[in-house]
Amino acid sequence: MSRSPERSPRRVERGAKTHTRNDSSHLPDYPEPTHLPASVLNQLFNRRLLVLLGKGGVGKTAISAAIALAASRAGLRVLAVECDERGPLASIFGRPPSYDPIEVEPRLALMLLEGAHALEEYLRMVVPGRAVLGAVFSSRLYQYFVQAAPGLRELMMLGKLYYEIQRKPADHNRWDLIVLDAPASGQALSLLNMPAVARKTFGESVVGREASNINRMLRDPQVCALIQVTTAEAMALSETLETYDALKKSDLGVSAVILSRYRSNLFAKADVNRLIKRAGQNKKLKHLNYIQGLAHEELQRASAAREALALLHKRISAPII
């Protein structure tokens, strides 16, 4: 579906940033990730669906909120979607989670996506009559079927997004962009692979054709972008690389990797030593050892971040933000 002219995204201005590297660094001179967002964000905002993936605790939900907010302020109608029923994304905006879109800012709405609810919503569209629908929902067979077929719930979750992007009637104010704060990496992989599995399982049936449509949407680089979020922490970095390889094996390309909490070298070890030496001449100054310890910890974190950046550049071909 083509975008309406008045909602075409504005270009994001590139912000200048200076930094000082540790002169003793032996790592390759890769570009700082903060030099890339303007061009990358402009490309991402031209998609219809952004799926953010990452280990718990890396800041994926906060970044999902930031991207959705930036897109809405660039003039797009944005729907930010989360899968966690505790509603961490909604809480960022001071709202409770909701199965129905709730507006939190002009052009920005939030929604909770849950498998059983998405299945019921889909059945409401295809099953005629409230009486028949009520009988279906209340039957033990239906309840057993929903519990016994978790893959179907995952498929319906993506089917809900597919409907919002491709099938929602034109007079219902379609979304320009949907930002999905996906579950943790392992669950997200199962979610993204489910349409291909369902297509093979159900063949040319209604479910099979729907799965095929969703599968095409996820693999269309003009429509969907997968964004991985990580930090320099070893476990997060390892899971990011494993997920990237798994996505590649499933023919699901990653459009960008966000290295969260990246720390540039703002000073070197020699700077700390000079500071302590000069400050030590003033007998009134206290806690110098504590300050020195904090500075060295910061240097270690910045060094780990640069090592993580080097590893990501080596293993991943997508832009690093």
Mean pLDDT split into 10-residue runs, the chain, 321 residues: 43 40 45 56 91 95 95 95 95 94 95 82 63 58 54 82 79 86 91 89 80 93 96 94 95 93 78 77 74 84 88 92 87
Judging by beta carbons within 10 Å of its beta carbon (0-12, 13-18, 19+), is residue 250 exposed, middle or buried?
middle
pLDDT at residue 25 in the model: 45
In a domain, 245, yes or no: yes
Residue carrying the six token digits 């700082």: 32
Q: Which two tokens stand for residue 205?
A: 């049936």
Can you tell me the distance from the alpha carbon of 190 to that of 183, in angstroms, rounded to the nearest whole number? Answer: 10
Amino acid found at 253: G
pLDDT at residue 68 in the model: 96
Judging by beta carbons within 10 Å of its beta carbon (0-12, 13-18, 19+), is residue 226 exposed, middle or buried?
buried
Can you tell me the distance from the alpha carbon of 27 to that of 24, in angstroms, rounded to the nearest whole number? Answer: 9
Q: Which two tokens stand for residue 78?
A: 């944005």
Can you tell me the distance from the alpha carbon of 234 to that of 51, in angstroms, rounded to the nearest whole number? Answer: 23
| pTM of the model as a whole | 0.78
Provide the phi-psi class of 187: left if phi over 0, else alpha when psi is between -120 and 50, else beta: alpha
In a domain, 228, yes or no: yes
In a domain, 217, yes or no: yes
In a domain, 66, yes or no: yes
pLDDT at residue 53 in the model: 97
In a domain, 3, yes or no: no
Write the CATH number for 229: 3.40.50.300
What residues does 240 pair with on adjacent strands? Answer: none
Looking at the structure of the chain, the number of domains it has is 1
Can you tell me the distance from the alpha carbon of 261 to that of 83, in angstroms, rounded to the nearest whole number? Answer: 24
Domain that holds residue 52: 33-263
pLDDT at residue 252 in the model: 94
In a domain, 249, yes or no: yes
